[in-house]
Amino acid sequence: MREITVAVVQMHPQLGKVEDNLGTMGKFIDKICAEQNVDLIVFPELATTGYELGLRFTDVAERTTGHAVSFLAQHAADHSTHILFGLVTKERVESTLYNAAILIGPDGEMLGEYRKLHLPGEERLAFRPGYRLPVFETTFGQVGILLGWDLAFPEAARSLTLDGADLLCVCASWGHPPAQERLGAIEEWRTFVQARAAENALYIAASNRIGEEYSYHFFGDSMVVGPRAEVYASIDEEIEGYAVATIDLDAVRRTREEIQLIQCRVPLAYRAIVRKY
């Protein structure tokens, strides 16, 4: 068995308060690792900054050699665990920003950066979209990453699956306008998480934030889901906290052999999926 223990953190990032948010993240890491040995801790999308900063994202964006990565890399090394978190990154051209996720290894080294592909309307005003879906090699297996709205696109999760991912991590700021019905948004989120897990026969560790900003209410419902859409752990309340699950990554191979989801595809019949309309 390839058993690993995964924690998904549900937090309320304070808008624009990077140091406060990093402090909160550091406390979560220390608390989780003091209670048990964990192989991976997943934080939400834009965990260090909050979501609705608009033009102010330029002021808080960092390069991957910056303070936020260094701070969390030290925590990863101190506790010998992987850490994944959402961050605004920038290129050498200061105005080129990305809604990104950073994966750090248990030795404190950065394993890679994923840049969000699918940007909803308001994010297009601040960020440039990414252009690829990398799979990252860790000490326990192959990890794919999605950010927020990426989850709504089955092509993204399937591409990561075909490239070898057996664990998919979702860092999200998934919410709804305050006037919209909360239940519908939560059901949408749960359906997407469980559908992506079941249709690819893999594990998903999904961390969603809570709190309210100018236009959105974020409800959490963070969870760890298995290759048959079974929920291993979740945070059902709208509170700051974390859920922890021990999972067997070898179950991915066994499940795919049993139900033949990947083997029985007919790619030539699916050409319309990648047609640009």
Domain membership of residue 44 as a residue range: 3-274
Cα 46 to Cα 15, 98, 184, 204, 245: the distances in Å are 10, 10, 23, 19, 23
Number of domains in the chain: 1
Confidence of residue 178 (pLDDT cuts 50, 70, 90): confident
Task: State the amino acid at position 206 in one-letter form.
Answer: A
Report the alpha-carbon distance of residue 215 to residue 52 in Å, rounded.
Answer: 8
**Segment 202-242, tens digit of pLDDT:** 999 999 999 999 999 999 999 999 999 999 999 999 999 99
Task: Say if CB 7 and CB 42 are below 8 A apart.
Answer: yes
**Segment 81-99, tens digit of pLDDT:** 999 999 999 987 778 999 9
Confidence of residue 258 (pLDDT cuts 50, 70, 90): very high
Report the alpha-carbon distance of residue 203 to residue 271 in Å, rounded.
Answer: 27
Nearest alpha carbon to residue 81 among 62, 109, 48? 109
State what percent of residues in the chain have pLDDT above 70: 99
Q: pTM for this one?
A: 0.97
- The H or E element that residue 219 is part of is strand 217-219
**Segment 24-59, tens digit of pLDDT:** 999 999 999 999 999 999 999 999 999 999 999 999
CATH of the domain at 166: 3.60.110.10
